[in-house]
């Protein structure tokens, strides 16, 4: 019995393998001896596994950090003017060739889609011009832009592309005219330029008072009315309207008040009415010149547009060579044309002598 135990102990490391087709029977299988290279490989594998286990025990388990919430983006709030400027910047500008082609197409077809392109491509021009008038208007700047846009649309309707004038140049006068009319109608919240007499007083009352002071006369309404050929009542009314705003910007409303008269300023610089007058008359004059040029023929037309109105005028010699006539003959035609022009302007601008004209025709 002891011998059997020793035999079992001796073979305890052996494996029992079932025999196929013989259930319940087993045979002792002698394990195969491993080759030297396999033993080395197994040893390296066990070593790496042991190192990994030791490292995992030594290092504490790393916990994943919670995801940070995304920073909420605060929407940028734009004021109406900024929104408008951003919107019009989306419209592409036209090249000189595109502008010329579109204006000619619109002149023939009156296609509203073409008019839309001409207007939208020049909206930035309106803003640029309106900026020149901003100092005359203490209220919402968008009011001036809106009026200028109306002038731009009118320019598209009226423009004749066959006169050799650039559209943007022509449109600028319509834009200025609409802005000026708006300022005139709303200055100091009253309409002070609704009649010819009121416009004359608006442009000249202050200058006439200064002129009378310099001459040693009391600038009384009666004397002013006689010199300007208007009613005395109109002089008194205009004085009241114009003097209402001559309060310093930093002057308090009351002695014990911190509130200031922010809407009115006695400006020592150029007077608002003088600036407005110059711009309005320039606009009127430009419009009359355009109308005058419609009926001109041949030589007079060339002299008028390419010499009198051109930024880079032709010489008498150049015009003479074009038509095969002498310089003296061109000068005579020009002189006759200027006389005709002066008569035309005098008939349509009767109070022109009261205005600081910006264009000389002599």
The answer to whether residues 159 and 84 belong to one domain is: yes
Please report which residue ranges of the chain form alpha helices under DSSP H: 2-10, 36-58, 80-88, 96-109, 112-120, 123-132, 141-158, 167-186, 196-215, 221-228, 232-243, 272-293, 298-303, 316-323, 327-348
Do residues 114 and 105 lie in contact, with contact meaning Cβ atoms separated by under 8 Å? Answer: yes
- pLDDT 10s digits, 208-247: 888 887 777 888 888 888 888 888 888 887 777 666 544 4
Residue 172 falls within a domain, yes or no? yes
The answer to whether residues 350 and 301 belong to one domain is: yes
Residue 30 falls within a domain, yes or no? no
Q: Name the DSSP class of 15.
A: E
- Please state the domain count of the chain: 3
Q: Name the DSSP class of 66.
A: P
Q: Give Rg (Cα) of the chain.
A: 47
pLDDT for 130 equals 93
Per-residue pLDDT band for 15 (boundaries 50, 70, 90) equals very low
The residue out of 269, 297, 329 marking a domain boundary is: 269
The answer to whether residues 199 and 290 belong to one domain is: no
The residue out of 240, 269, 298 marking a domain boundary is: 269
The answer to whether residues 214 and 302 belong to one domain is: no
**DSSP secondary structure string for all residues of 310-324:** -SSPPPHHHHHHHHT
Which domain CATH number covers 285?
1.10.10.10
Residue 215 falls within a domain, yes or no? yes
In degrees, rounded to 5, the angle at the alpha carbon of residue 331 between the alpha carbons of residues 327 and 336 is 150
Residue 65 falls within a domain, yes or no? no
The answer to whether residues 120 and 200 belong to one domain is: no
The answer to whether residues 176 and 202 belong to one domain is: no
Residue 337 falls within a domain, yes or no? yes
The answer to whether residues 154 and 96 belong to one domain is: yes
The answer to whether residues 184 and 88 belong to one domain is: yes
- 74 three-state secondary structure: coil
pLDDT for 29 equals 43
For residues 31 and 34, give the distance between their C-alpha atoms in angstroms, rounded to a whole number. 9
The answer to whether residues 283 and 355 belong to one domain is: yes
Residue 350 falls within a domain, yes or no? yes
Do residues 314 and 307 lie in contact, with contact meaning Cβ atoms separated by under 8 Å? Answer: yes
User: What is the extent of the structural domain holding 347?
Assistant: 275-362
For residues 328 and 299, give the distance between their C-alpha atoms in angstroms, rounded to a whole number. 13
Exposure on the CB side of residue 244, measured as CA atoms within 13 A:
12
The answer to whether residues 201 and 102 belong to one domain is: no
The answer to whether residues 173 and 84 belong to one domain is: yes
The answer to whether residues 287 and 249 belong to one domain is: no
Residue 288 falls within a domain, yes or no? yes
- pLDDT 10s digits, 157-185: 999 999 888 999 999 999 999 998 888 77
The residue out of 269, 299, 317 marking a domain boundary is: 269
- Specify the pTM: 0.39
pLDDT for 19 equals 43
Residue 15 falls within a domain, yes or no? no
pLDDT for 125 equals 96
- pLDDT 10s digits, 56-76: 555 555 454 455 455 555 555
- 27 three-state secondary structure: strand
């Amino acid at each position: 019995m002891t011998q059997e135990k020793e035999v079992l102990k001796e073979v305890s490391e052996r494996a029992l393998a079932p025999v196929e087709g013989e259930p319940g029977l087993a045979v002792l299988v002698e394990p195969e001896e491993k080759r030297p290279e396999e033993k080395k490989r197994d040893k390296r594998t066990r070593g790496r596994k042991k190192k990994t286990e030791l490292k995992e025990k030594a290092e504490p388990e790393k916990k994943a950090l919670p995801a940070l919430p995304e920073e909420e983006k605060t929407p940028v709030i734009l004021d109406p003017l900024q929104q408008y400027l951003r919107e019009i910047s989306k419209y592409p500008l036209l090249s000189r060739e595109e502008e010329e082609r579109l204006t000619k197409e619109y002149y023939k077809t009156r296609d509203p889609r073409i008019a839309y392109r001409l207007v939208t491509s020049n909206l930035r021009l309106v803003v640029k011009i309106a900026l020149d008038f901003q100092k005359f208007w203490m209220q919402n700047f968008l009011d001036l832009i809106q009026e200028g846009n109306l002038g731009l649309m009118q320019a598209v309707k009226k423009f004749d592309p066959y006169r050799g004038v650039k559209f943007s140049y022509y449109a600028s006068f319509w834009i200025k005219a609409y802005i000026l009319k708006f300022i005139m109608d709303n200055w100091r919240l009253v309409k002070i330029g609704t009649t010819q007499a009121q416009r004359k007083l608006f442009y000249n009352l202050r200058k006439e008072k200064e002129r009378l002071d310099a001459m040693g006369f009391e600038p009384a309404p009666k004397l002013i009315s006689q010199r300007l050929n208007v009613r005395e009542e109109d002089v008194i009314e205009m004085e009241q309207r114009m003097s209402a705003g001559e309060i310093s910007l930093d002057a308090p409303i009351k002695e014990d008040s911190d509130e200031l008269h922010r809407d009115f300023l006695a400006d020592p610089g150029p007077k608002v009415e003088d600036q407005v007058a110059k711009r309005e008359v320039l606009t009127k004059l430009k419009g009359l010149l355009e109308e005058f040029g419609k009926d001109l023929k041949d030589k007079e037309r060339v002299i008028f547009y390419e010499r009198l109105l051109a930024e880079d005028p032709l010489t008498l010699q150049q015009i003479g060579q074009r038509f095969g006539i002498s310089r003296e003959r061109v000068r005579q035609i020009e002189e006759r044309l200027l006389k005709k022009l002066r008569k035309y302007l005098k008939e349509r601008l009767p109070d022109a002598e009261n205005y600081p004209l910006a264009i000389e025709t002599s």
